[in-house]
Amino acid sequence: MVWLKIKRISLSLVLILPSLLLINIPSASAKTTLQQRSLFIATSRGGALTTHTFSFTFPIDVNVGSINFQYCDDPIDVIACINPPGSDVTDATLTSQSGETGFTISSTGTNQISLSRTPSVTSPQVNTYVFDNVTNPSNVGPFFVRISAFASSDGSGSAVSFSSVAGAITIGVNISSEVPDILYFCTAVTLPTTDCTDAIGYFIDLGTLSPGTTRFGTSQFLVGTNAANGYNVTANGPTMTSGTDIINQLPGPTASIHGLPQFGMNLRANLSPLLGADPTPGTGSPSPNYNIPNRYTYNDGDIVASDPGRSLIELYTVSYIVNIKASQPAGVYNTTITYVCTAGF
Amino acid sequence: MKRIRTMPKRLSALLAATILLFWIAYPVVSYNSVHAAQLSSRKLLLSSSAIGTVSTDVGGVAVPPGNGGNGQKAKHTVTFTLTTNSSNDGSILIMYCDDPIPQATCNTPTGMTAANVAAVTVTGGLVTTHPYAIDLGTTNATINTAIGTLGVCNGASTTRTNCVALKRSTADTEGAGPTTATIAYGGGSSDYITNPTVDNYSFFARIYVFTDTAWTKANLLDNGSVAASTAQQIDITAKVKEVLNFSVADVTGLVAPGLTCTPLTAGTNGAVALGDVNGVLSFTTAYDVHSYFRISTNANGGTTVYYSGDTLKNGANSITATGTTAVISHYGTKQFGIGIDSGDTQGGNGYSFTDLTSAAQYANGAGTINAAPFTSNTALFAFDTASTTAPVIIASAAGPVTCDTGSVRYLGNISVNTPAGIYTTTITYIALGVY
């Protein structure tokens, strides 16, 4: 009995030990994982025809003859690859490559691009492949591209390296704004800024008129518009009157002369008398008759300033002069000048 | 007859069991047949049991020298306690063999090499009057002559394939003991020991301590052997999917991120009006509007969010983009720009950068746009129309992003002469993850 037990034990050990030695510890895949891998899509809009740029490095030097890019709805290689709806790389072209080079497209399908070259050993470097004419998936959300590198030049055999990258389709932000028709115009005795709400005064008191003295005053107007055909500003109203008595208006540009009945204006800086200011720089300008320094004129309804096109805000200063003759009837002379700006949109 | 026939079978079984028992016990038997005392508490600690050809993990990623997955550039640490105290010791030889017995032939374990061991670190209780240091100058031939039948150090000249030789400049006397010594070497990028290249392979280190400084067999003080083994690495693979959840919406699609970083909903499908309640711009007032993006990704190599698009246009007319340098709002001038609005938190659903950082020129979208004078405005906006062909970075992170929401503020200003019309543009946001 003792001998039999020893025999059984020894036989058991003899049988068990080899089996222990033969335990097969499952080895993970020999595929290396691509590092620093990314997918840059030039536009993230669904269904857009765009450019996809892949970058990655090989973790160790391996012999590579082909690389497959497979578009899927899941990055895991053991899960069946379903092409993301709308994605299409059939017409993809390889527009540039760097790092491991020498590749050409050997085939394309709806969701796969295959590159091929004469197999050679990789180097530690960033590899970049740019594909044009790629149609993005149409649905908003992530999609994945499985990248497999093979030693063979035709994608046969086991992959030596594999990994996936993710991309994301999003909606675009569509911004819309409306720019309305704009005519910015205001008048006042003084406009200290380009803001019409800062306007000051509307009444000019020229004091007591005298044949030996020229009386004068100024007012201002601002104008700007986005009208394609610009603007015209007209001055409207009678000359200065007092009942039936009038002070003659100057029908053409004339110098200011004491002792003559004169009512006129211009839109320039003057020295005789020292009066007014030139318009602020811009594309608009005073009408010719109102654009001569030291010469004054006025005709009801005249265009005094204009711009043939769109105009930024410009400030015009209107200079008024009044002279009277010695026999000018006494009275209170006044007038109201109304400026009208018309824009051509 | 039966008994007679059974005996040979029993004897053979007993013999087989005896051989088996011997085979199992063999590596742990310690030998001491050179009349020296046996070192006690001996052990050899390997930084890695991987074979000497392994320096990367299953994914091909390099494992640093001295780490558990690198058998090519391993670190070995030998520890023992001297049995013979109060005696001189001046040299130590650690000899790697395929057999622990000193009198047995020493073959270098397959594939192993100690040729790249450049230094040793000796700690423990050994006196340090004349500290031990690695010997790289004595030829193996000299050592082999000195140690006689204790084994052999293989390798040409001073290249030690299987030995690590240490010595003091002058032998020192240890104290009363017990004296423990720990000798470590290797584990560096250029200072390392390479494990045997066979999986599940037992190998041995014979440790000799000599009273002189020249490894002389006759002066052997203590010795002992230790066993070690390479082991098949167990490669464990688990797959984590690449994740890039990136969504864009206007304010009506701005939902709470929750615990799962809920994507923004479609909202108005991205349609936003920049202007007053009717989407009309004015040259006397600046207008703004917001859109949002939300991103969650495990891209540990970095995350980048780009924008791509043109300025507002109506046919040939356009509202001037603010350019690549951020500027303040100036109503009355044509401006279209964007900025990240860190103040637009929307009760926790809006701006929430934790991992992302705004690009510098887009980082200050929060603040005023209609202050008087305009120079008092604080919000800054930029916009690069070249982004239509070369998308521009608006935010980025050095690693993954748990769940960040970006609030993009759009500025619209016009001048008085900006041609009338409907101005539109589409801005696309692109997320890039580096895995």
Per-residue pLDDT reduced to its tens digit, A57-99:
999 899 999 999 999 999 999 999 999 999 999 999 999 999 9
* pLDDT at res. B233: 80
- pLDDT at residue number B16: 54
Q: Do A44 and B246 touch (CB under 8 A)?
A: yes
Residue B238's pLDDT band (cuts 50, 70, 90):
confident
* Residue whose C-alpha is closest to residue B308's, from B396, B407, B395, B393: B393
pLDDT of residue B61: 80
Range 32-91 of A in CB contact (< 8 A) with B: 32-33, 35-45, 55, 58-60, 74-76
Decide if B89 contacts B221 (C-beta within 8 A): yes
Q: Do A170 and B424 touch (CB under 8 A)?
A: no
CA-based nearest residue to B215, from B173, B156, B168, B183: B168
pLDDT at B235 over 90: no
Q: How many angstroms separate the CA of residue A116 from the nearest CA in chain B?
A: 23
To the nearest whole number, what is the mean pLDDT of chain B? 92
* Pairwise CB contact (< 8 Å): B417 & A60: no
Per residue in B380-426, pLDDT (tens digit) is 999 999 999 999 999 999 999 999 999 999 999 999 999 999 999 99
Contact B141, B69 (CB under 8 A): no
Residue A1 has pLDDT above 50, yes or no: no
Handedness of CA B357, B361, B362, B366 (dihedral sign): positive
Q: For residues B175-184, give the mean pLDDT.
A: 90
Answer whether residue B28 shows pLDDT above 60: no
Chain A hits for B235, CB-CB cut-off 8 Å, are 27-28
Assign B280 a pLDDT band (cuts: 50, 70, 90): very high
Q: Distances from the Cα of A92 to the Cαs of A51, A95, A98, B3, B389, in angstroms?
A: 9, 9, 17, 86, 19
Give the per-residue pLDDT at B31.
42
Quick check: bond before A273 cis, omega within 30? yes
Least confident of A19-28, B55-64, B260-269: A19-28
- Joined together, the tokens standing for residue B62 give 């390099």
- Encoding tokens for residue A52? 């996809």
pLDDT tens digits, B131-174: 999 999 999 999 999 999 999 999 999 999 999 999 999 999 99
The answer for A 262-321 residues in CB contact with B (under 8 A) is 310-313
B17, B232, B248 ranked by CB distance to A170: nearest: B248
- Residue A122 contacts B where some CB pair is shorter than 8 Å: no
With bands split at pLDDT 50, 70 and 90, how would you rate the model's confidence at A278?
Answer: very high
| Residue B299 pLDDT | 97
Q: How far is CA B3 from CA A10, B7, B17, in A?
A: 20, 6, 21
Contact A178 B435 (CB under 8 A): no
Instruction: State residue A30's pLDDT score.
Output: 61
Q: What pLDDT, on a 0 to 100 scale, did the predictor assign at position B84?
A: 85
Q: Say yes or no for a CB contact (<8 Å) between A226 and B418.
A: yes
Q: What is the pLDDT of residues A3-24, one digit of tens each?
A: 444 444 444 433 333 333 333 3
Q: What is the model's pLDDT at position B34?
A: 47
pLDDT given for residue B276 in this prediction: 98
Answer yes or no: is pLDDT of B7 > 60: no
B36 vs B209: CA distance, rounded Å: 9
Q: A42 exposed, middle or buried (CB, 10 Å; 0-12, 13-18, 19+)?
A: buried
Q: What pLDDT shows up at residue B3?
A: 47
Q: Which of A70, A76, A65, A61 is nearest to A156 (CA)?
A: A65
User: Does the pLDDT at position B22 exceed 50?
Assistant: no
* CB distance A95 to A131 below 8 Å: yes
Mean pLDDT of A153-177: 96
Contacts B272 to A, Cβ<8 Å: 173-176
pLDDT, residue B12, reads 55
Query: What percent of chain B is modeled with pLDDT above 90?
Result: 84
Domains in chain A: boundaries: 32-169, 183-343
Q: pLDDT at position B24, please? A: 42
ipTM above 0.90, yes or no: no
Res B18: pLDDT: 52
User: Measured over all CA atoms, what is the biggest interatomic distance in chain B, rounded to whole angstroms?
Assistant: 127
pLDDT for B103: 85
End-to-end CA distance of chain B: 78
- Do A32-169 and A183-343 fold alike per CATH? yes
Q: Is a pLDDT exceeding 50 seen at residue B1?
A: no
**From residue B179, how far is each of A79, A206, B423 by CA, in Å?**
60, 119, 88
* pLDDT at position B409: 98
Please report which confidence band the pLDDT of residue B9 belongs to, taking 50, 70 and 90 as the band edges.
Answer: low
Look at domain A183-343 and name its CATH class.
mainly beta
In A, residues 202-241, which contact B (CB 8 Å cutoff)? 224-226, 228
CATH number belonging to the domain at A32-169, selected among 1.20.120, 3.30.310, 2.60.40, 3.10.310: 2.60.40
- Averaged pLDDT, B291-309: 97
* Confidence bin at B101 (pLDDT 50/70/90): very high
pLDDT of A303 = 98
The pLDDT value recorded for residue B13 is 54
Domain residues of chain B, as ranges?
A: 29-229, 244-433
Q: Given A3, A27, A29, which is nearest B10 (Cβ)?
A: A3
Averaged pLDDT, A24-41 = 72
What's the CA gap between B197 and B107, in Å, rounded?
14
CB contact under 8 A, B332 and A194: yes
> Which has the closest alpha carbon to B245: A138, A38, A168?
A168
